[in-house]
Amino acid sequence: MALHNELIPQADAAQLSPEDFRKIGANEKQSEVIQRESLSAWRDSWERLLQNKLAVTAMIVMLIIIIMSIIGPMISNFDYQTNDLMNTNKAPNSVHWFGTDDLGRDMFVRTWMGARISLTVGLAAALIDLMIGVIYGGIMGYFGGRVDEIMNKFAEILYSVPYLLVTILLLVVFEPSMGTIILALTITGWINMSWIVRGEIIQLKNREYVLASRSMGAGSGRLLFRHLLPNAMGPIIVTLTLSVPNAIFSEAFLSYLGLGVQEPIASLGSMINASMSAWNLYPWRMLFPAILISLTMLAFNIFGDGLRDALDPKLKK
Amino acid sequence: MSQPLIEVEGLKKYFNLGRGNILKAVNGIDFSINEGETLGVVGESGCGKSTAGRTILRLYEPTAGSVRFNGTDIYKLSPSKMKAMRRDMQMIFQDPYASLNPRFTVTDIIGEALDIHNMAGSRKERKKRVEELLDLVGLNPDHATRYPHEFSGGQRQRIGIARALAVNPKFIICDEPISALDVSIQAQVVNLLQDLQKRLGLTYLFIAHDLSMVKHISDRVAVMYMGRVVELAPSEELYANPLHAYTKTLLSAIPVPDPEIEANKKHILLNDEAAGPIHSKDGAPSQDLFNLDNSQLVEVSKGHWVAM
Q: If you average pLDDT over every residue of chain A, what do you get?
A: 83
Our CA-based measurement puts residue A27 at a distance from the nearest CA of chain B, in whole angstroms, of: 12
Q: What Cα–Cα distance (Å) separates residue B178 from each residue in A209, A212, B92, B97, B185?
A: 17, 17, 10, 12, 8
Q: With an 8 Å Cβ cutoff, are A38 and B54 in contact?
A: no
For residues A179 and A27, give the distance between their C-alpha atoms in angstroms, rounded to a whole number.
67
pLDDT tens per residue across span A220-236: 888 988 899 888 888 89
What is the number of other CB atoms lying within 10 angstroms of the CB of residue A9?
9
Search chain B and give the residue with CA nearest A232: B103
Q: How many CB pairs under 8 A join A and B?
A: 83
Sorting pLDDT into bands at 50, 70 and 90, what band is A317?
very low
Query: pTM to 2 decimals?
Result: 0.78
Q: Does B103 touch chain A (CB under 8 A)?
A: yes
A284 contacts A107 by C-beta, under 8 angstroms: yes
Q: What is the pLDDT of residue A1?
A: 44
Task: Kindly state the average pLDDT of the residues A122-145.
Answer: 92
Nearest to A231 among B103, B109, B116 (CB): B103
For residues B104 and B149, give the distance between their C-alpha atoms in angstroms, rounded to a whole number.
10
Give the length of chain B.
Answer: 308
User: What residue ranges do the domains of chain A occupy?
Assistant: 51-77+96-315
Instruction: Report chain A residues whose CB lies below 8 A from the CB of B86.
Output: 215-217
Nearest to A217 among B117, B140, B151 (CB): B117
Q: Does A211 touch chain B (CB under 8 A)?
A: yes
Q: What is the pLDDT of residue A140?
A: 93
Our CA-based measurement puts residue B284 at a distance from the nearest CA of chain A, in whole angstroms, of: 27
Q: Does A216 touch chain B (CB under 8 A)?
A: yes
Most A-contacting residue of B56, B104, B134, B143 (CB-CB within 10 A), to test interface: B104
Sorting pLDDT into bands at 50, 70 and 90, what band is A147?
very high
Search chain A and give the residue with CA nearest B56: A215
DSSP for A172-194 reads HHSPPSHHHHHHHHHHHHHHHHH
Residue-wise pLDDT tens for chain B (308 aa)?
A: 457 899 999 899 988 887 778 888 888 889 999 999 999 999 888 888 889 999 999 988 899 999 999 888 999 999 889 998 999 999 999 888 889 988 889 999 999 989 898 887 788 889 999 999 999 998 888 888 888 888 888 899 999 999 999 999 999 999 988 888 888 888 888 999 999 999 999 999 999 888 888 888 999 999 998 888 989 999 889 888 888 888 888 888 887 778 887 777 777 776 665 556 666 555 444 455 666 666 778 888 888 888 87
Q: Does A40 touch chain B (CB under 8 A)?
A: yes
pLDDT tens per residue across span A8-40: 555 455 678 888 888 777 666 666 667 777 777
For residues A26 and A32, give the distance between their C-alpha atoms in angstroms, rounded to a whole number.
11
Q: Where are the strands (E) in chain B, listed by range?
A: 4-18, 21-34, 38-42, 64-69, 72-73, 89-92, 171-175, 203-207, 220-225, 228-234, 278-280, 297-301, 304-307
pLDDT tens per residue across span A261-297: 777 788 888 888 888 888 788 888 888 888 999 999 9
Q: What is the pLDDT of residue B179?
A: 85
Terminal-to-terminal C-alpha distance of chain A? 49
Instruction: Report chain B residues whose CB lies below 8 A from the CB of A34.
Output: 143, 146, 150-151
Q: With an 8 Å Cβ cutoff, are A216 and B167 in contact?
A: yes
List all residues 6 or more positions away from A234 whose beta carbon is below 8 Å from its beta carbon.
Answer: A45, A308, A311, A312
Q: What is the pLDDT of residue B122?
A: 86
pLDDT tens per residue across span A50-95: 888 999 999 999 999 999 888 888 887 777 777 777 777 777 787 7
List all residues 6 or more positions away from B307 whose beta carbon is below 8 Å from its beta carbon.
Answer: B228, B229, B230, B231, B244, B290, B292, B295, B296, B297, B298
For residues A88 and A66, give the distance between their C-alpha atoms in angstroms, rounded to a whole number.
28
Judge whether residue A104 has pLDDT over 80: no
List all residues 6 or more positions away from A71 whose beta carbon is below 8 Å from its beta carbon.
Answer: none
Q: What is the pLDDT of residue A155?
A: 93
For residues B134 and B126, give the distance between their C-alpha atoms in angstroms, rounded to a whole number.
12
Q: What is the pLDDT of residue B27?
A: 86
Give me the domains of chain B, ranges plus CATH numbers.
4-88+171-181+202-307 (3.40.50.300)
Nearest to B101 among A32, A209, A217 (CB): A209
For residues A245 and A231, give the distance between their C-alpha atoms in angstroms, rounded to a whole number.
25
Nearest to A215 among B90, B98, B147 (CB): B90
Q: With an 8 Å Cβ cutoff, are B90 and A213 in contact?
A: no
Q: With an 8 Å Cβ cutoff, are A211 and B149 in contact?
A: no
Q: With an 8 Å Cβ cutoff, are A217 and B149 in contact?
A: no
Our CA-based measurement puts residue A219 at a distance from the nearest CA of chain B, in whole angstroms, of: 9
The CATH code of domain A51-77+96-315 reads: 1.10.3720.10
DSSP A100: B
